[in-house]
Structure 1
């Protein structure tokens, strides 16, 4: 799937600087998830703020995010501070606030690409699945998840959500609507595009909000990634009201882009 636009996440959410080390963005109700603004969108905004705060075109390498409160639709204010680590790495701490106070915080690592004597390894290979055009579209119910209208999801393997299946994993081709450049910020959104990994084993939805999110990049985007990506999400364990999901994302060429992990509360 070709890049159809040069639109960025910052364009879509009107992300703009408001002063030294501060930014503001708007997340409207069409990006609402299960219980509030889509968590992947907030993660993506924090990543984009960190990239701008670093100010040296350093590629994003890792994200460690935690939710501090319950966000609501509307305006978010971001504050960020960058701390250089040596000559090739920076750590940026970012906090998103609303009128209620801090709602999301993240520590984001950025680092320059450098030659290495260690041979290249491509990471986990993509599963063998049908091409996206051969897969039927699946739409998350807009009355439950309005943000589902912003995702073109085409299941490619594994059970569907809420089918009381024996396996707790899903695999689908996913693209964003409106289309956005594929970068670290939009991949944070895509890493949270599928329902919680435990959902295929259920027959009715329950609230499973994200509490912590981590993401590790396998590319610096020297070679642009396809707009449509293959996302595999698997529940690695659920007990005592907590649930952990692992997510891998590949582009259409089979290149591993991202490994991510979500720690969730099970409220039901």
Structure 2
């Protein structure tokens, strides 16, 4: 698949004269009830990168979903806070019809050499290579954004299979393909269904309230897709659910981790 350029270009992300940004999320990027949460997170991160006065890579993002957005046009605004010489933090808000619907605090940090050797404490699971795994399609009539994900499950269980384990592991690429960077990692971190879905046999609404993303690999050398994504439900109860997601490249390098806090509405 041919790369389509910088992440925000896919969503017509442009700066306005008022210092704000404008983007459009079309209906093909709709999730269960509104715009795909990872896609909105990716746009917030991309705006932070574009708005920053420092060309530092993204290290982390904390995203909060504040309302019930619809697909269509969004206005975004960023406020920058410099922290010393190596760190910049940007607060970004996305709004529709003048009301905020999502916000993020995005941390950008300068790369520097240290005496501490690189270390990754979360090894990739041993699974079959992506070409040896069969395709799995999220039903586009229910979740249109599923058409943008090329998913090849690499291990059992599958969603809605009534399994005993709340975990999914799959090779995932984006269609159309996008550069593998912090914004697209946010999309990939939210590509699989909610972590408790393997326990179920019928879907329920489990919307994301917060999503945190941490980039572990050198942000300038993230490689290509497909990536191996493992989503695990940490806990569910009292109407709330917490998922952890890990993303590795094809060589087993840990690229990013994410945690989502969700409401269980079923």
Note whether the superposition's TM-score is higher than 0.5. yes
Contact 1:208 1:264 (C-alpha < 8 Å) held by counterparts: yes
Among 148, 152, 155, which residue is 2:153 paired with?
155
Residue in 2 that maps onto 1:19: 17
Structure 1 residue 6, shift from structure 2 partner: 5.2
Structure 1 residue 9, shift from structure 2 partner: 1.3
- Rounded to whole Å, the distance in 1 between the matches of 2:18 and 2:86 is 23
Deviations 1:56-90 (A, max 9, x none): 22010011111110000100000001110000100
- Rounded to whole Å, the distance in 1 between the matches of 2:48 and 2:174 is 22
Give TM-score, length-normalised by structure 2. Answer: 0.97
Structure 1 residue 123, shift from structure 2 partner: 3.2
- Rounded to whole Å, the distance in 1 between the matches of 2:156 and 2:55 is 38
Q: Residue 67 in 1 paired to residue 58 in 2?
A: no
Structure 1 residue 22, shift from structure 2 partner: 1.1
Give TM-score, length-normalised by structure 1. Answer: 0.97
Contact 2:156 2:169 (C-alpha < 8 Å) held by counterparts: yes
- Structure 2 gap ranges (5+): none
Residue in 1 that maps onto 2:36: 38
3-state DSSP of counterpart to 1:43: helix
3-state DSSP of counterpart to 2:184: helix
- C-alpha distance 89-21 of structure 1, shift in aligned 2 (>3 A): farther
- Rounded to whole Å, the distance in 1 between the matches of 2:231 and 2:19 is 34
Residue in 2 that maps onto 1:111: 109
Residue in 2 that maps onto 1:246: 244
Residue in 2 that maps onto 1:79: 77
Structure 1 residue 230, shift from structure 2 partner: 0.4
3-state DSSP of counterpart to 1:19: coil
- Rounded to whole Å, the distance in 2 between the matches of 1:237 and 1:224 is 30
Deviations 1:17-43 (A, max 9, x none): 013541010000000000100000000
Bigger drift between 22-31 and 3-12 goes to 3-12
Residue in 1 that maps onto 2:100: 102
Contact 2:127 2:155 (C-alpha < 8 Å) held by counterparts: yes
Structure 1 residue 119, shift from structure 2 partner: 1.6
- Rounded to whole Å, the distance in 2 between the matches of 1:101 and 1:25 is 15
Contact 1:59 1:112 (C-alpha < 8 Å) held by counterparts: yes
Deviations 1:154-181 (A, max 9, x none): 0001200001000000000000000000
Contact 1:66 1:105 (C-alpha < 8 Å) held by counterparts: yes
Contact 1:60 1:220 (C-alpha < 8 Å) held by counterparts: no
- Structure 1 gap ranges (5+): none
Aligned residues: 266
Matched ranges for 1:1-268 at <5 A: 4-5=2-3, 7-99=5-97, 101-268=99-266
